[in-house]
Amino acid sequence: MKIQRRLSATKLRPAIDQFLKLSGRKILSIDRGWNPADGTPVFTQKGQYTTRGWTEWTQGFQYGCAILQYDMTGDEQFLELGRRQTVDRMAAHVSHVGVHDHGFNNLSTYGNLRRLMREGRIDHDPRELEFYELAIKLSGAVQAARWTETAYGTGFIHSFNGPHSLFSDTIRSLRILCLADQLGHVLMAEGDKAHNLLGRAIEHALTTARFNVYYGESRDAWDVEGRVVHESIFNTKDGNYRCPSTQQGYSAFSTWTRGLSWILTGYAEQLEFFRTVKGSQIEPHGISKRKLVAMMERAAIASAEFHIENSFVDGIPFWDTGAPGVASFGRYTNTASDPYNDVEPLDASAAAISAQGYLRLGNYLLAKGDQARGERYRTAAFTIAEALLQEPYLSTSPKHQGITLHSIYHRPNNWDYVPRGRKIPCGESAMWGDYHTMELALLVKREAEGDIYPTFYS
């Protein structure tokens, strides 16, 4: 990536205003044309949203987009859409015991609505607020119950693959545990044993940083600092680590860039949150605040630098840095991205997620007094945002329901649509890519206007 230090939130404001004109029409198009009996919209094919059976992990993004559209425009129809669909459709996600995606689904809906009420952007209703907070409490406890102990004194929230599987994605679901704990909730189990939700969030963060992020320490032959593995495998009999793995990446020894983006943004958010947590709340869980924060900073910064070194000049990455066609591009990091190439797909959704991570990490480091890295990461965020807010990554066609183009879901399984005349997937959107571009736009817009800084724990 070639970081554009000329950029700022203020300079991106006109592009965001244009973006919101497009995003509103697309959100309404999906709502009017989608039959909930068909499941949840996941990604587009030929410009129209369709579903793909795996889990219903994108429904919160669908309604979350409407809530964020209201947040940025004040248009009441989007608040009504998001609020109504949250009540009608999201309860099953609160009690879902089979997934690792609670933070995605439930903070995008219940969490955003709670935040808006606390910010005074929607009328304060104590009973409605209690409803949102009860959903968050229950979701946090259900997520924390999906637990695997390891042989290393920590555990983790296991993925939908089973108790052996630690996904990098789940670092962003930790938000739901942290907020549920902040609201005074615990996980109750057999014998009325209470499990502390903050403690489980801390353990998961430690385990993920240790096994899913690499630091150039010769763990294997391809240990490059900042490399991220999608999945780590554990022996559930004795809790020992077995090997790296991947579901959606090219290999266990390369970096699936969306996995890296979850790490970058997930740890950046946790660093912001734990800045508000007292050391006395952390120490009972076997680590000092200083050591916990240092671990999170290391993981976030390593992944941030890796993305900079392994993306095109505008910050858009390949779907996987080790995919077989990448080598044919040579030193591609000095060139403009081309999502219409015929060799390897790019993944704009990974860029959208990472950009928020860069902005939050940069703000966190600035607050700590690290001026150089803080500004570096903030302008990296603006560099990516500039690319996403214009063609070819911004979907401007009224016939296309997506917002952010050139997102990849599951390349190994060949799920992504390849247009006629093309050799690789391109030109399509995914619900998580659209939602995270909306979140990024909100952050940048709020900064440009000098408005309240949004966090999951606000």
pLDDT bracket for residue 174 (50, 70, 90): very high
In angstroms, the CA 315 to CA 278 distance is 36
3-class secondary-structure state, position 59: helix
User: Averaged over 14-36, what is the pLDDT?
Assistant: 97
pLDDT of residue 437: 99
Q: Is residue 93 one of the residues assigned to a domain?
A: no
pLDDT bracket for residue 55 (50, 70, 90): confident
Q: Is residue 12 one of the residues assigned to a domain?
A: no
Q: Is residue 90 one of the residues assigned to a domain?
A: no
pLDDT bracket for residue 177 (50, 70, 90): very high
Identity (one letter) of the amino acid at 289?
K
pLDDT of residue 8: 99
Angle at 37 between CA 35 and CA 39, to 5 degrees: 90
pLDDT bracket for residue 281 (50, 70, 90): very high
Domains in the chain, number: 1
Q: Is residue 114 one of the residues assigned to a domain?
A: no
- The rounded percent of the chain whose pLDDT value lies above 90 is 99
193-195/155-157 β-pairing: unpaired
Q: What's the pLDDT tens digit per position in 96-137? A: 999 999 999 999 999 999 999 999 999 999 999 999 999 999
pLDDT bracket for residue 56 (50, 70, 90): confident
In angstroms, the CA 112 to CA 76 distance is 15
In angstroms, the CA 271 to CA 391 distance is 33
Residue-by-residue DSSP string for 230-292: SEEEE-TTT--EEEEE-SSSS-TTS-BHHHHHHHHHHHHHHHHHHTTS-HHHHGGGTS-HHHH
Q: What's the pLDDT tens digit per position in 291-325? A: 999 999 999 999 999 999 999 999 999 999 999 99
Angle at 333 between CA 329 and CA 339, to 5 degrees: 65
Q: Is residue 104 one of the residues assigned to a domain?
A: no
In angstroms, the CA 3 to CA 315 distance is 8
Query: What's the CATH code of the domain at 416?
Result: 1.50.10.10
197 CB contacts (<8 Å, ≥6 apart)? 140, 141, 144, 177, 178, 180, 181, 185, 186, 187
Q: Is residue 130 one of the residues assigned to a domain?
A: no
pLDDT bracket for residue 53 (50, 70, 90): confident
Q: What's the pLDDT tens digit per position in 336-350? A: 999 999 999 999 999
DSSP at 320: B
pLDDT bracket for residue 1 (50, 70, 90): very high
Q: Range of 277's domain? A: 43-54+148-449
pLDDT bracket for residue 54 (50, 70, 90): confident
User: Averaged over 72-77, what is the pLDDT?
Assistant: 99
